[in-house]
Structure 1
Amino acid sequence: MSRTPLIVNALGQLDNPNSARSVAAAGDLNPSGEQITVDARTLAEARASGLTAVNITLGYVMGDLPPYEHTLHEIDVWDDVIARHPGDLLKVTGVEDIRTAARDGRVGVVYGFQNAEAVGDDVGRVATFAERGVRVVQLTYNQANHLGGGSMAPGDTPLTAFGREVVEALNEQHLMVDLSHSGERTCLDAAVHSRAPVSVNHTGCRALTDLPRNKTDEELRLVASRGGFVGIYFMPFLNPTGHARAADVVEHLAHAVNVCGEDHVGIGTDGPVTAVDDLDAYRERLAEHVARRREAGVSAAGERPDTLPFVVDLRGVDQFRELIRLLERRGFSSERIEKIMGRNFVDHATRVWRS
């Protein structure tokens, strides 16, 4: 491409996975239950990658911490992280902030949830989260909650009555309704019930790899038909063997474009820019990590001790440039690539956030 497009990661991480967890700058837990580290390398490599903005996961996802209190605490933590790095980071509360980040060479940080458990039984908390700068709310993680079914929940749980109330509150506050990790019935129900377009910020296509974390063509088509957004992740669920490669990412993007149209597809890598340096050591720790998630009841089908939770040949500082190169080789036009790399997310945010 002749120019670098906006690059917006609909779900990713700002983290250096190689740093000692005991000195984590952010001091909190990611969805894997590990400390995150926002250090000089994290910031330098995120900017060097061309990343314009990223929807990060903060707040309660799983575990024994009190969901509401822990979520408010993590908002405080990330507010502090951004305040300490004003030359590198910008909190995104509206679309104009993404454009400002692009102009200034900073990385926009979108506050997002991967579980709406923190709402508790008080739908009024949605307004509190909106006031604090949260802009994306995923209804469920892999397990069911009181809003609806997760992708690994037994049965095909519908969106609950309270889930409908929460969707309505998210619409009222102009927050994204994210249906990643949801079960099929909950996804379809929420997409229909929502007055605003919904999103699936990080997923794959089940027509290519039949795993619960991937979305069916029916789900993809419905989300797109109502003006929504679908982000394809860089995860093992893109290949039946669990050993996903960059070529798999391209195939899932191509399928999503065929089903949804080129105006509704983007990327949501579910990973950081900074790559794991020592893959051998990482593989040795992976079995423990997978076992811990299984014990907590939050793992997804396709997670195994031998499956890396990222695409090994599409990681590090050059991951976005490499994906662009592969999409060009696939025959995608410059305009289509610009849409996938960030413009479609910005357009979706414009429709939902309205600012």
Structure 2
Amino acid sequence: MSSAHDYTVINALGGLDNPNAPHSSAAAGKLVQTSEDLTIDARTLADAHASGLTAVNITLGYTMGDLPPYEHTLHEIEVWDALIRDNAADLVKVRTVTDIQQARADGRIGVIYGFQNGVAVGDDLGRIETFDRLGVRVVQLTYNQANHLGDGSMAPENRGLTPFGRQVVEGLNDRRIMVDLSHSGENTCLEAARISRQPVSINHTGCRALADLPRNKTDQELRLVASRGGFVGIYFMPFLNTSGHASAADVVEHIAHAVNVCGEDHVGIGTDGPVTSIDDLDGYREQLAEHVALRSAAGVGAAGERSDTLPFVIDLRGVDQFHELVRLLEQRGYRSERIEKILGRNFLDYAARVWRP
């Protein structure tokens, strides 16, 4: 039986944080999380190494709230640059596929800079060049709500991209930055996939055919993204089961469905969570209801979020999450070549089709 250490493991959307630290975003239950809330300590790094993680697309910059989007995003990039400098023995900033390959060879963890909301572009397409220069490699067009680029998954009108959103897709293509359609509305996703000159991705999602919730993608969306050379990452989130209580078995089922729809060369993982587990689950549950209520009141929550839905899969978390996924995929009958693709090679191949060498 193999383990995650036998593979290149790339989390297409995840985090580096010790959520048990007193001021961490998870411990504090903050609605708006910033990079300054993160705790990258010895445990964070040790857990990441032990998990087999090779690289992770982290969320930085503006996602929601009252902070000035562009200025806050530039500050967040500075914060992450400092975090990586301070932990250079363990972390490396990723700009190219070679950086990920070298990180694995060096025993370090690659950090991919990504946005979960494109609103920081503002009305200035020149900012895309600035983000590119600063090392941003992934831009998700929308969060759950609508923005000036297009409709998110919870926008009832499902209008697709705006005219300016189409220009932003073109600008991201010009700079060889990934266009991520996670959280997007169905028409936004379909339109962006059709007009993009380069393959696009859905870095963290589930399959709506298995759980009919807006944060999951229809087979039409999955198939179109894959058919154009793109990538789909399956998350470890409650939306994988309409009960709100997703299990490791649900993760495997969604991966299997995505493979059946997209083909085995286009599916990977984007957990939407860190490696280090929350130790005090009872305490966390007590504050969760307030956090979900705040998201709902702010209009940024998603259908399927409830006071009793943990934002992770309880039996597929922590240091063993990737090792356990390997075991479950082997149990499913997947050969090592397919597991290798799902764990990271498909993301790496997709990145090679989009990023500069």
* Common topology (TM > 0.5): yes
Residue 191 of structure 1 contacts residue 197 of structure 1 at CA under 8 Å; is this kept in 2?
A: yes
Q: What residue number does 1:82 align with?
A: 84
Could you tell me how far apart the structure 1 residues matched to 2:31 and 2:336 are?
Answer: 34
Could you tell me how far apart the structure 2 residues matched to 1:319 and 1:182 are?
Answer: 27
Could you tell me how far apart the structure 2 residues matched to 1:140 and 1:47 are?
Answer: 31
**Cα displacement string for residues 251-293 of structure 1 (whole angstroms, at most 9, x for unaligned residues):** 0000000000000000000000000001101100101110111
**Cα displacement string for residues 145-169 of structure 1 (whole angstroms, at most 9, x for unaligned residues):** 0100000012111111100100000
If the length of structure 1 is used for normalisation, what is the TM-score? 0.97
Q: What residue number does 1:347 align with?
A: 349
Residue 229 of structure 1 contacts residue 264 of structure 1 at CA under 8 Å; is this kept in 2?
A: yes
1:325 maps to which of 324, 327, 331 = 327
Could you tell me how far apart the structure 2 residues matched to 1:37 and 1:136 are?
Answer: 23
**Cα deviation, residue 33, structure 1:** 6.4
Could you tell me how far apart the structure 2 residues matched to 1:295 and 1:47 are?
Answer: 38
Residue 30 of structure 1 contacts residue 36 of structure 1 at CA under 8 Å; is this kept in 2?
A: no
Q: What residue number does 2:16 align with?
A: 14
Residue 139 of structure 1 contacts residue 148 of structure 1 at CA under 8 Å; is this kept in 2?
A: yes
Q: What residue number does 1:249 align with?
A: 251
Match of 2:318, SS state, is coil
2:220 maps to which of 218, 225, 228 = 218
Q: What residue number does 1:262 align with?
A: 264
**Cα displacement string for residues 140-189 of structure 1 (whole angstroms, at most 9, x for unaligned residues):** 00000010000001211111110010000000000000000000000000
Residue 151 of structure 1 contacts residue 181 of structure 1 at CA under 8 Å; is this kept in 2?
A: yes
Q: What residue number does 2:304 align with?
A: 302
Could you tell me how far apart the structure 1 residues matched to 2:254 and 2:175 are?
Answer: 32
**Cα deviation, residue 354, structure 1:** 2.8
**RMSD, aligned α-carbons:** 1.3
Q: What residue number does 1:40 align with?
A: 42
Are 1:316 and 2:318 an aligned pair?
yes
- Unaligned 5+ runs, structure 2: none
Match of 2:250, SS state, is helix
Could you tell me how far apart the structure 1 residues matched to 2:95 and 2:246 are?
Answer: 34
Aligned length: 350
Identity %: 73
**Cα displacement string for residues 27-52 of structure 1 (whole angstroms, at most 9, x for unaligned residues):** xx886569221111111111111100
**Structure 1 residue identity aligned to 2:187:** R
- Unaligned 5+ runs, structure 1: none
**Structure 2 residue identity aligned to 1:354:** R
| Counterpart mapping for 1:24-173 below 5 A | 35-173=37-175
Match of 2:137, SS state, is strand
Could you tell me how far apart the structure 2 residues matched to 1:75 and 1:242 are?
Answer: 33
Residue 207 of structure 2 contacts residue 219 of structure 2 at CA under 8 Å; is this kept in 1?
A: yes
**Structure 2 residue identity aligned to 1:42:** T
Q: What residue number does 1:285 align with?
A: 287
Residue 212 of structure 1 contacts residue 300 of structure 1 at CA under 8 Å; is this kept in 2?
A: yes
**Structure 1 residue identity aligned to 2:305:** E
Could you tell me how far apart the structure 1 residues matched to 2:312 and 2:39 are?
Answer: 18
**Cα deviation, residue 106, structure 1:** 0.6
Residue 31 of structure 2 contacts residue 295 of structure 2 at CA under 8 Å; is this kept in 1?
A: no
